[in-house]
Structure 1
């Protein structure tokens, strides 16, 4: 019956059908191609905090489960060097450091928490996590002593230093101490420990203040890079923060300043987590920004990504997958390095315990 009806179609009607199918064909074909073009990447998460600003966080086995779910092979882990005070005059416990005007204080026990939690994991899970030291006051010239104590107490745990919080707008404004800088003497002592043990330093150092539309603090990180060329620095969020964006929307000078820093300092690496994806790497239509694509391709080993998780891991995989449009705009080799390999390449090649023995022998 159906064949008889088709047989009665006029030649003109058949032509219209053919033309319609011809016009629709590219759309029908393009849909599965677009879906198939989305790349699946393996990741190293270069920025994970296993506790929040109240030194609370989900257990590390939950982190491993989140990593398995999100194609995350490796992750940097650290505590948080600050504790939010619940002030006597506040009727409700704050939920975040900006919840009220109470101060923040430096909290060294965060490193012990990370080390003890890490050591409880099976060896195969430990191999996927890379703990960084952060529990020190970056304005205290005793900070290097804390690092050495932690390295001696947990010699086979630590693989880096950070996230060190200097120049972090409202956060460091709440600290009950001087404003920390990347180029003060206390931090220079920290960098000397980093050089001695081959530890990379993940450093938060805002490029400017909330109001200044210029790279007000660029000299601080520039000085640190120049004075310690034997240390690999990872610049957290490329010097940006949500507070800066809240006041200034977008730092128009950021890309130009970053180009100069990368050209002048071979020891500078850039963490593209948190506030860098938007509005810098991707525009409002989720299209990769050409200037950033060109810069990353020019320095393919100098960038990495991270989730900046804060004591909770359920959104890690989603956070890293949001980089897909940018990674897809890069060459396949560069995309693989940014997504996974560059962070791992910065980790110390030998156990810290070997260098501790040598350090003690040199002192003797």
Structure 2
């Protein structure tokens, strides 16, 4: 057999082995699930667990929605989403009561898979920390984080009654001190820019929070992106280098890679992983986590989580396992993560 034929045969064998290699069997933790929608309604726990079990999702972060959408007197049809019409939204604290009741009604084996976060407060109200403290004392040991905290949030910001919350305002500074006291991570929605500015317009707000509260573990929802931003700006070219700098400068920053980050950042138009993002996650293997960001209905949870598989497969297997599951559990307070390993 000639050398050329031997090389061809070896190449074919390697290609066949790669093709036949078994797919990685991931176990997932979903770091971004809303049990309720913008009308404070839900498909319920049975539907959520059915979606989780079908998708191999072992654990979820679970929160309500901190605002309720108003059905305005002049609107003939109830909107289906906060952006369905021009009616406003208002801060709604009972969302946490609904989540707590649903979680406490679960049997022990299911309850261990739920990691509830408090979200029912106005982030522009300096009474917010007092309210959160009361909720923590009302159900000791139940709550494992704070958020999703809505600050800069596309059109929802304009629709919500009251002052515009900022990630670095006085009310949230008080909340961050409380989070540090109780060792609670904070899931923060803070858009990095507006719909039309092609620069990190609002970055100083979240960077000040990171810098001034080093003992708080911040999870940045969607890495500061949103679908509404992408409708006006297909891709934020500054996002990846900005994240690289922030991750280097602030060890208390974690990134929620929920659906608005998947495309056009992690995967290109043909579904191929971007090697620059692969390298970034490899550089900070403990700082990224996945989230579906489903809102009150759970049929799409599995699809949204499994869409990340091509990106996970591009990572070294130990890093992929961390991103898929372990990083979220590791960020929880000790009582929420110790028995989940």
TM-score (norm 2): 0.93
Separation (CA, whole Å) in 1 of partners of 2:241 and 2:174: 30
Render the CA deviation track for 1:310-337: whole Å, top value 9, x for unaligned: 1111221121111011001111110000
Structure 1 runs (4+) greater than 4 angstroms displaced: 29-33
The match for 1:120 is: 105
Q: 1:93 pairs with 78, 84, 90, which one?
A: 78
C-alpha displacement of 1:30: 5.6
Question: More displaced, 99-108 or 32-41?
Answer: 32-41
Tell me the matched-pair count: 329
Q: 2:259 pairs with 274, 282, 301, which one?
A: 274
The match for 1:159 is: 144
C-alpha displacement of 1:69: 1.1
C-alpha displacement of 1:86: 0.6
Separation (CA, whole Å) in 2 of partners of 1:326 and 1:109: 38
The CA RMSD over aligned residues, in Å, is 1.8
Provide structure 2 residue ranges, at least 5 long, that are not aligned to the other structure: 1-7, 337-341
Residue 50 (structure 2) pairs with residue 73 (structure 1): no
Separation (CA, whole Å) in 2 of partners of 1:145 and 1:223: 23
Q: 2:280 pairs with 283, 289, 295, which one?
A: 295
C-alpha displacement of 1:64: 1.6
Cα gap change, 1:141 to 1:289, in 2 (>3 Å) = same
Q: 1:168 pairs with 146, 149, 153, which one?
A: 153
The match for 1:140 is: 125
The match for 1:55 is: 40
Residue 291 (structure 2) pairs with residue 306 (structure 1): yes
C-alpha displacement of 1:145: 1.1
Render the CA deviation track for 1:296-353: whole Å, top value 9, x for unaligned: 00000000001111111122112111101100111111000000000000111137xx
The match for 1:4 is: none
Which one has a bigger Cα radius of gyration? 1
C-alpha displacement of 1:79: 0.1
5 Å matches for 1:201-212? 201-212=186-197
Secondary structure at 1:46 match in 2: strand
C-alpha displacement of 1:31: 7.3
Separation (CA, whole Å) in 1 of partners of 2:72 and 2:20: 52
Kept in 2, the 8 Å contact 1:38–1:324? The answer is no
Separation (CA, whole Å) in 1 of partners of 2:80 and 2:304: 22
Separation (CA, whole Å) in 2 of partners of 1:150 and 1:57: 21
Render the CA deviation track for 1:132-191: whole Å, top value 9, x for unaligned: 000000000011011011111111210000000110111111111111100000000110
